Structure 1
Amino acid sequence: MEENRLFPVFFKLNRLHVLVVGGGNIGHEKVNAMVQNCPEATITVVATWFLPEMETLAHEYHSITLLQKEFSCGDLLGKDLVIAATSDRELNHSIWEKAKCSKVLINVADTPELCDFYLGSIVQKGNLKIAISTNGKSPTVAKRLKQVLQEAIPDGLDEVLNKLQVIRDKLKGDFSEKVKQLNKITEVLVQDKDADKA
């Protein structure tokens, strides 16, 4: 049976430079997702044309640069991540080849076999962020799970996280001792509700 062998990571996009190739719906969706999670994300979008919504995003977020031109190898210079988001499969494949030669991680929209990473569905409640992956099998299922988790996680959880950080900063001992103490303090978060009723 196939397993999801992806290793989840959270990029600090304010420290990286992302290239997005494509100014249409797919490109807009990817750029919008990034700035919703990191408003300071440095993103360069290369395309021969841009949706008005993409231009609006660039006006709203000054770390987005729009370059109206054909994609070229030089666009990869100084970039840490690339997203090929055009509707032209041949162009997307060419971008993938050039990114691989430049040793730049790439995501080719709607082509899982050409992706080094995926942009999953994200649930966020304050500082808590959960990324959901179906290993490229079904973005629709990921979106449904996002809805369920968004409703299930209480809005007040961010206050709990802030208080736990204060407690963690005051704890004494080495790392393993602090982990033991925090595990004891947070047991209440995973108590069996049925056991409470007994």
Structure 2
Amino acid sequence: MKKPYFPLFVDLSEKKVYVIGAGTIAKRRIRSLIDFTDHLTVVAPEVNPELNTLEQEGRIAILRKKFELKDIVDADLVIAATNDHTLNNDIYEYCIGENILVNVCNDKQKCDFYFPGLAMTDQVVVGVTANGTNHKMAKKVVEKIREMLGECL
């Protein structure tokens, strides 16, 4: 039996974070990360208006191009969120070889970390995961925590 993931809070403010892809899952990951880093780069040939707006606000950078491994040579953390399983695997193999933390969105066996459900206020951040297995339960727990945090304010 695999051990559960350890909940670790990390300062990403100066870390270089890359999200490869700009689909639905990539957008969710970007929304989760954007408040935690000043160096978030999206690599995708095309992006939607929401990501364009974030770029215009200076909150993310976008490389509008087909991904190449050289794009992440200076990365600290990479999210592979494309619909191309071969490309996601290539990203994973590169990151493992370079000791870059990686999350392959469509393969939990290729994830150094999971994305928690987040409940946040200005002074409190709570992350919840069900070890990547029961997303509905984790979501319910996050909703309850958000209610509790709202009561504390």
Q: How far did 1:152 drift? A: 2.4
SS at match of 2:13: helix
Who is 2:44 aligned against?
Answer: 47
Deviation at 1:11, TM superposition (A): 2.1
State the SS of the aligned residue for 1:123.
strand
Q: Match of 1:153, SS?
A: helix
1:56 aligned to 2:44?
no
Task: After TM superposition, list the pairs within 5 Å mapping 1:13-162 onto structure 2.
Answer: 13-35=12-34, 37-38=35-36, 40-60=37-57, 62-156=58-152
Aligned to 2:5: 6
Structure 1 contact 47–68 (Cα < 8 Å) conserved: yes
| Paired letter, 1:7 | F
For 1:103 and 1:86, locate their aligned partners in 2 and report how far apart those are by CA, in whole Å: 21
TM-score by length of 1: 0.71
How far residue 125 of structure 1 moved from its aligned partner, in angstroms, is 3.0
Alignment partners' CA distance in 2, 1:56 and 1:153: 29
Equivalents in 2 of 1:111, 1:146: separation in Å? 23
Q: Which 5+ residue runs of structure 1 have no aligned equivalent?
A: 158-198
CA–CA distance in 2 between the matches of 1:135 and 1:45? 26
**TM-score normalised to the size of structure 2?**
0.90
**Deviation for aligned residue 1:68:** 1.0
Percent pairwise identity:
31
Distance of 1:120 and 1:84 partners within structure 2: 17
Q: Specify whether residues 73 and 3 from structure 1 end up closer, same or farther in structure 2 by C-alpha distance, changes over 3 A only.
A: closer
Which residue of 2 is the match for residue 177 of structure 1? Answer: none
Q: What SS is found at the alignment partner of 1:78?
A: coil
Indicate how the Cα distance of structure 1 residues 155 and 41 shifts in structure 2: closer, same or farther if over 3 A, else same: farther
* 1:76–1:102 CA contact under 8 A, matched in 2: no
Measured after TM superposition, the shift of residue 27 of structure 1 is 1.4
8 Å CA contact 1:32–1:57 kept in 2: the answer is no
Query: C-alpha deviations, 1:83-118, integer Å up to 9, x for none?
Result: 001122221111111111221010111311000011
Task: Give per-residue Cα distances to partners, 1:126-162, cap 9 Å, x unaligned.
Answer: 31111101111022221111111111235435xxxxx
Kindly provide the CA deviation profile for residues 2-24 of structure 1, in whole angstroms up to 9, marking residues without a partner as x: 46521111222211010110012
The structure with the greater share of residues assigned to helix is 1
SS of residue in 1 equivalent to 2:136:
helix
Q: Post-superposition shift, 1:25?
A: 1.6
Higher radius of gyration, 1 or 2: 1
Give the paired residue count: 153
Code of the residue aligned with 1:26 in structure 2: it is: I
The RMSD of aligned alpha carbons is: 1.7
CA distance in 2 between counterparts of 1:71 and 1:125 reads 35
> Structure 1: which 4+ aligned runs deviate by more than 2 Å?
2-5, 152-157
